[in-house]
Amino acid sequence: MTPHAKGNIRSVREKQTILVTGSSSGIGRAVALEAARRGHRVFATARDPASVEDLATTAGISTLRLDVTDPESAARAVEDVLRHQGRLDALVSNAGYGQYGAVEDVSREDWRRQFEVNVFGSVEAARAALPAMRQARRGTIVFVSSVAGKISIPFAGPYCASKHALEAIADALRVEVAPFGVRVVVVEPGPIETRFDERARREVGPLMSQPGPYSEFYGNAERAMETDFQMGKLPASSASRVILDAIESERPKTRYRITSMARLFLPLRQLLPDRFFDRRMKKALRLPDKV
């Protein structure tokens, strides 16, 4: 058991059937491999089935197509799991990406796409999984959130907003499904070694190359994302172990904070005033007081 996932871990781990979204890389892939290593039955999913084909060579892992932006795709994936296993014990809702850019610069379409994947996609995956869990009177839904779900980062407004929304949904859902024996867990990792930053750079690339009122700030924002905001970065396997410990726990925490950044800054955000964090963000991003 990892030190970050204290709780009553079952002395004899019961084999569970676990569905993981966004398994092509990063935390999702690490969760699928860790769950299989522990003897669970895993269904690793991705929008592009080719991106998870290699996982099927690992004992205990099957792969499925699941596009979280398509409710029918989510429903079919859950149906496939139930047809093969007759049960679904846990959902790890991990699929997501980061849309960076100044609030004013990011287009309406990109704002919508960010929420379609990170928020509505997570909701659809949970809605697809819940009927079987309610009927079984047991189950665990793990939402992979972020430090950005509690602390807003300038030039990452769309991503932060989507994770704030996901946390609010998880808080409501946790109470709603408790009478049915279903647990809801939120994981707030902080910086993890994944391909997440690569896609974030691709998303913000066009904005950085165009002239505009914020263009001179993007370079320093990118530098801060790669340095100041990467404190205590850990491998994806660290997150996967915490997630599996939560799934296996008789009474998991409602939230798990994995990296030192998450454990330090999230409590501070509740204690310190907004202006303090504004100043810290301006310093990290090297933003002038006025232009």
Could you tell me where the DSSP H helices lie in the chain? Answer: 26-37, 71-85, 108-115, 121-136, 157-177, 196-208, 215-226, 236-248, 260-271, 274-285
Which residue among the candidates 100, 159, 218, 256 is catalytic per the annotation?
A: 159
CA–CA separation, 145 and 149 (whole Å): 6
Q: What is the CA radius of gyration of the chain?
A: 19
**Is residue 127 within 8 Å of residue 53, measured between CB atoms?**
no
CA–CA separation, 50 and 117 (whole Å): 20
- Reduce the DSSP state of residue 45 to 3 states and report it: strand
Residue 159: active-site member: yes
Quote the tokens at residue 128: 């697809």
Helix axes 196-208, 215-226, angle to 10 degrees: 170
CA distances from 247 to 77, 259, 287 (A): 20, 19, 42
Name the residues annotated as catalytic: 159
